[in-house]
Amino acid sequence: MKLGLFNLMSYQDNPQGIQGVINDTRTMVALAEELGFETAWFAEHHFTNYSISVSPLLMAAHMAGYSRRIKLGTAVIVLPLYQPMRLAQEIALVDRLTAGRLVLGIGSGYQAYEFDRYNIDVEQRNTVLLKNWQFIEAALTGGKASSLSWQGERVETDFLLTPLQQPLPPLFITTTNPALLQRFTRWGATAFITAGWRGSPRLKEMARDARRQWREAGLMASTPLAVQQYIHVTDSKKAALDAAERALFVARMISALHGKTPDTKGAFITAPKFPDEPDVAVVRDNLIIGDAHYVAERIIKEVADINPSHYNCFFQFGDMPIQAARQSLEKFGREVIPLLEKTIGKVTVDIH
């Protein structure tokens, strides 16, 4: 099992504004590399303060200049929002710009607010994902692909750019749907899941249900599965609740963005409590928030329950102040990782 660092890059109350969010991300990625994390992941979202990371490929290319070893992942490229001829070339170029450190995470997206502004039907997202992937796959692995032009005519073209990693960078996809996942098994794709504020109990259910569906659909039982979890390492009960409140802020924004017309002030989401919102203490307990020994015990149990191939850690959520996020990540590296490796083996990569 390898560790990842997820970067959503939300903007709420960062004292340095948007530039502060960018600087914080550089800080967290550099620290994660120092601690031996395998991958730094970058989200994709549009038009609101939920995330300023509008292009995970651009973030990966940028962070290549601020790092030397850590892999740089897209979590995820929302395929239905792209013109596939352009995207295929950009994927290949970024893999070369990062010297083969790109990890390619793709997904169909889910936020109706974003799709509506791109004039794309969110209900057709899986169909469009498969259509776009067919083109991208052919372009990256075969050097030639055809697509419809904006006038509806079929255009076939050769592609000079192919990835440095052959035939493709490592592939992750945010689905457990066996009908979708089947399309990507030839590339050894890893299914990627997150449960948000529902945390460990829901992650366990999702993994169990996914593997049952895969067995029924005839997918290999060994299909790799990656999970994402909110983590905050602190000895302070107050700081633990503060972190859980930051996670609730993210959940409220997600709830608002599921609709096409959330309440906004400019590009800032007004995110009230969502239906049946839990108490902040429930969120704290669902997520992995507490002192180093508690965090290690919870992760060890989660790994035993789910057996993930990749464990993605979300440290700076809800525009958490960089001092708190950095201190949490430092304690994770100094105190939690040694405890994990005593029980489940190596979770970091070799650092040269």
The residue type at 283:
V
C-alpha distance from residue 351 to each of 34, 69, 292 (Å): 8, 8, 23
- 255-296 pLDDT tens trace: 999 878 888 999 999 989 999 999 999 999 999 999 999 999
Closest CA to 312 of 171, 192, 187: 192
- Domain extent listing, the chain: 2-344
Instruction: Choose between 253 and 262: higher pLDDT.
Output: 253
Q: Global pTM?
A: 0.96
Q: Look up tokens 């990656």; give the residue.
A: 226
Beta strands in the chain (DSSP E): 2-7, 39-42, 71-74, 77-78, 102-107, 144-148, 154-158, 171-173, 190-194, 225-233, 264-265, 268-269, 288-290, 310-314
Beta bridge partners of 269: 264
- pLDDT tier at 352 (50, 70, 90 boundaries)? very low
Q: Distance between the two ends of the chain, CA-based, in angstroms? A: 19
What does the angle CA 307 – CA 310 – CA 315 come to, to the nearest 5 degrees? 115
Assign a CATH topology to domain 2-344: TIM Barrel (3.20.20)
pLDDT at position 110? 94
- 149-165 pLDDT tens trace: 555 667 788 999 999 99
125-142 vs 84-97: helix axis angle to the nearest 10?
A: 50
The residue type at 102:
L
